Chain A
Amino acid sequence: MADPARRTNPVLRLVGVHKSYAVGTRVELEVLHGIDLVLARGEFAALIGPSGSGKSTLLNVIGLLDQPTRGQIFVDGHETSLLDDKELTRLRGRSIGFVFQSSCLLPEFTAAENVMMPLLANRGRPDAEMREAAEALLDQVGLQPWQDHMATELSGGQQQRVSIARALAMRPALVLADEPTGNLDTKAADGVFELLRSGNRMHGTTFLIVTHDPRLANRCDRIVELVDGRIVSDRPNLHPVRHSADAEAIA
């Protein structure tokens, strides 16, 4: 928090980001055509769009898992285009948390150990604090009784809750969630969504949630729509729906 860049700069700023893939040797397929996007601290935004619109590619580029072909990305005030893989990994580990579509827990570890894993990977060595932090986070997502169960023993909804706890473990500035409720039934999805919301409120963490579920998007504060690799609309959702029943009615 002592980092002055953190206070003044937006959490995420994209300037003219292009991404293309080589298809064969000659043809290049451009997936993102100049994306400009700013996410301020504490925002809770949805990224929607039809399949093939480039949502996942954009998320990967934002998450520093993939490099843009052109354009600049600022994460937490750091310009990323000149960073090498080591520095990108470091920045990603410290500033960005991920929640993937189907839970991506490590099956070799218990729930608590999964939550500790980012701390462990970034600090290199376990310590007592990590365990406490992990238990507190699991408590927040309501899974403290399950902390010593192996990841594979948990239900899909539970696994996704652990994923959220894990994404928040490093107290990142930004959490990227790719279809976090995609594989869950409505009830479990609601619970998971509420957790994302509360994570946003409690820690002031910025969230960007990729979804093609309009109900879910309507419950976010801001909706960014991507079509064919371009942002076609970016509007604040002035009256975010609080409950899924209402969201369903609107949909």
Chain B
Amino acid sequence: MNRFLPFECIAAFRFMREGLIQTILIIVGVALGVSVIVFMSALLSGLQTNLFRRTLNYQAQIVILPPEEVARPLHPSHGDTIASLVQPRSQRLRSIDQWQKVQEQVARMPAVVAITPIVSGPGFAVRGDANKAVTITGVESETYLRVIAVADKIVAGKAAVATTDIVIGIELAADLGASLGDKLRLTTASGSAETMTVTGIFDFGNKGVNERNVYIAFRDAQNLLDLAGGASSIELNVRDPFMAEEVARTIAAATGLEADSWIKTNAQFFSAISAQTLSNSFIRFFVALTAALGIASVLVVSVVQKSREIGILRAMGTSRGQVLRLFLIEGAFMGLVGSLFGSAMGWLFLDFWRGIARNPDGTPLFVITVEPMLFVMAAAGATLVGTLAAIVPARRAARLDPVVAIRG
């Protein structure tokens, strides 16, 4: 007998050893359930991250904008109408007031991992006879590339931009017939114009983005868009993309500016991802429920089988609490051991999946990273579920009348 274990543990382990086949069967059952949960969760989070990275890679998770300008008609004091029609104001390109301070303030938030100022506005790219409408984005290369992974999408040249450099999309390059080192002219509605040199060509896998987005140096954009010293928006990424909306609200409240998260600007996409997450939660719940019912039924049978022993233990001075804990420990143990085997099985399934889910060129279809927390959560969850499942049988065991139990 192990000297360090309390009575309840010793008795619980012996009871489980005595009913070894039952114990093994239920542990295998729990393990299968946990492996499904681990596999599904890792697969889904890999899938979602991948989808997210592939489709929304050209935009930051949160964009901070100056507040919209609103028309403020003089309000009548005694019910007499002053204006019968109030026309909303048109939104001109403005800078965020004291954007450096705002950026500093937001960067201090623990959820924020990368932040960068942007000067963005409409313009035209002109080369020879070709004239294309573009969205000019003036960036501070060093910080911007941490928010948007343009560098990963460059097909020619480099992503970083210095004065009079311009990085354009592959479609725009085709439309303008421009290639690396070629010059093109950027003009804006205000009449400013600048001749730029193409230093990089990107492909985001999105035709609209490839046609419209051009990246130039921050100061160039300030000059072109007539926004000297200003920044039209601040873009940032957060640690957990799915928490972006909460962070955006916090930012909006703290700064008094408008903060839009990708969740708000891509509601359809987000609701599709949410539906996946929800269905995964459903599957997890029912698998956990099945495991719990399995543990409970094994323990109910065990209580009936062991009722005579329980009666004898009670006669020898074992308290109701000890009997109760004995069965709770059995449930917790079945859950814990099941989850350890289950995590290992889930890992093997994932490995197998990685082996078969490949692109034609042999690269993985998408990267599945398994957080160690997933296993910790699975173990803790299964132990908890096992304990909860044991409550009903354990209470039944604790309430057994020793007289009836011993008589058999």
On A, residues with C-beta under 8 Å from B are 60, 63, 65-66, 85-86, 89-90, 92-94, 98, 100, 104, 106-109, 113, 116-118, 120-128, 166, 170
Given contacts A118-B316, A126-B1, contact A60 B403 (CB under 8 A): yes
Contact A108 B313 (CB under 8 A): no
Q: How far is the CA of A126 from the CA of B3 in the complex (A)?
A: 5
Indicate whether A124 sits within 8 Å of B14 (C-beta atoms), given known contacts A85-B320, A86-B320. Answer: no
Asked if B15 contacts A117 (CB within 8 A), the reply is: no
**In the complex, per-residue mask of B1-18: 1 if CB is within 8 Å of any chain A CB, else 0:** 111011100110011011
The yes or no answer to B322 lying at the interface (CB within 8 A) is: yes
Q: B318's contact among A89, A98, A104, by CB below 8 Å, is which?
A: A89
> B314 interface residue, CB < 8 Å from A?
yes
Please report the C-alpha to C-alpha distance between residue A127 and residue B15 in the assembled complex, in whole angstroms: 21
Cα of A113 to Cα of B316 in the assembled complex, Å: 13
A106, B312: Cβ atoms closer than 8 Å: yes
Measured between beta carbons, the chain A residues less than 8 angstroms from B24 are none
Instruction: Decide if A108 touches B6 in the complex (CB within 8 Å).
Output: no
Q: Which of B2, B3, B317, B406 contacts A93, CB < 8 Å?
A: B317
Docked-complex contact B1 and A89, CB < 8 angstroms: no
Dominant SS among interface residues on chain B: helix
Contact A121 B313 (CB under 8 A): yes
Interface centre among A66, A108, A123, A166 (most CB of B within 10 A): A108
Closest chain A CB from B113 CB (angstroms) = 50
Question: A98 near B316 (CB under 8 angstroms)?
Answer: yes
Q: Are B3 and A120 in contact (CB under 8 A)?
A: no
In the bound assembly, the distance between CA atoms of A128 and B2 in angstroms comes to 11
Distance between B21 CB and nearest chain A CB, rounded to angstroms = 15
Structural contact, A89 and B6, CB atoms closer than 8 A: no
* Nearest neighbor of B405 in chain A, beta-carbon distance: A65
Task: Using A100-B406, A124-B6 as known contacts, say yes or no to A108 and B17 having CB atoms under 8 A apart.
Answer: yes
Confirm or deny: B151 has a beta carbon within 8 angstroms of a beta carbon on chain A: no
Closest chain B CB from A91 CB (angstroms): 9
B66 at the interface (CB under 8 A from A): no
A66-B403, A113-B1, A127-B3 as given contacts; A122 in contact with B317, CB under 8 Å: yes
The B17-56 residues at the A interface (CB cut-off 8 A) are: 17-18
| A-chain residues with CB within 8 Å of residue B403 when the two chains form the complex | 60, 65-66
B309–A86 CB distance below 8 A: no
In the complex, whether B158 has a CB less than 8 A from a CB of chain A is no
Return the contact of A98 from the options B7, B309, B315, B321 (Cβ within 8 A).
B315
Question: 11 pairs across A/B with beta carbons < 8 Å?
Answer: A85-B319, A90-B317, A90-B319, A104-B308, A104-B406, A107-B309, A124-B6, A125-B3, A126-B2, A127-B3, A170-B317
Known contacts A66-B403, A104-B406, A106-B309; is A125 also within 8 Å of B317 by CB? Answer: no
Given the complex, which residues of B lie within 8 Å of A92, measured CB to CB? 315, 317
Question: Shortest Cβ distance from A188 into chain B, in angstroms?
Answer: 21
Q: What B residues does A108 contact at CB under 8 A?
A: 11, 14-15, 17-18, 309
A89 and B314 form a contact (CB under 8 A): yes
Given contacts A65-B402, A104-B406, A126-B3, contact A109 B14 (CB under 8 A): yes
Q: Given the complex, which residues of B lie within 8 Å of A85, measured CB to CB? A: 319-320
Q: Is the CB of A117 within 8 A of B313?
A: yes
- Of all chain A residues, the one with the shortest Cβ separation from B315 is A98
Residue of A nearest to B318 (CB): A121
Chain B neighbourhood of A63, CB < 8 A: 315
Which A residues are in CB contact (< 8 Å) with B318? 89, 93, 121
Shortest distance between the CB of B385 and any CB in chain A (Å): 26
Given contacts A86-B319, A106-B312, contact A120 B406 (CB under 8 A): no
The answer to whether A121 and B316 touch (CB under 8 A), given A104-B406, A113-B1, A126-B2, is yes
Option from A106, A113, A121 in Cβ contact (under 8 Å) with B317: A121
Contacts of B406 in A (CB 8 A): 65, 100, 104
Given A113-B1, A117-B316, 7 further pairs, Cβ under 8 A: A86-B320, A89-B314, A93-B317, A100-B406, A106-B313, A120-B1, A120-B10
Determine the chain B residues whose CB is within 8 A of the CB of A121 once the complex forms: 7, 313, 316-318, 322
Collect the chain A residues with CB atoms within 8 Å of residue B322's CB.
Answer: 121, 124
Inside 8 A of A118's CB, which chain B residues have their CB? 316-317
Q: Report the Cα distance A107→B310, complex, angstroms.
A: 12
Residues of B within 8 A of A117 (CB): 313, 316
Q: How far apart are the CA atoms of A121 and B5 in the complex, in Å? A: 12
Task: Give complex CA distance A92, B313 in Å.
Answer: 11
A residues less than 8 Å from B14 (CB atoms): 106, 108-109
Which residues of B are found within 8 Å of A98, using beta-carbon distances?
312, 315-316
Taking CB atoms, residues of chain A closer than 8 Å to B319 are 85-86, 89-90
Q: How far is the CA of A166 from the CA of B316 in the complex (A)?
A: 9
Contact residues in B for A125 (Cβ distance below 8 Å): 3, 5-7
The listed residue with most A CB atoms (<10 A of its CB), out of B14, B309, B314, B317, is B317
Complex CA gap A113/B313 in Å reads 13
List the B side residues contacting A66 at CB < 8 Å.
403
- A124: chain B residues at CB < 8 Å are 6-7, 322
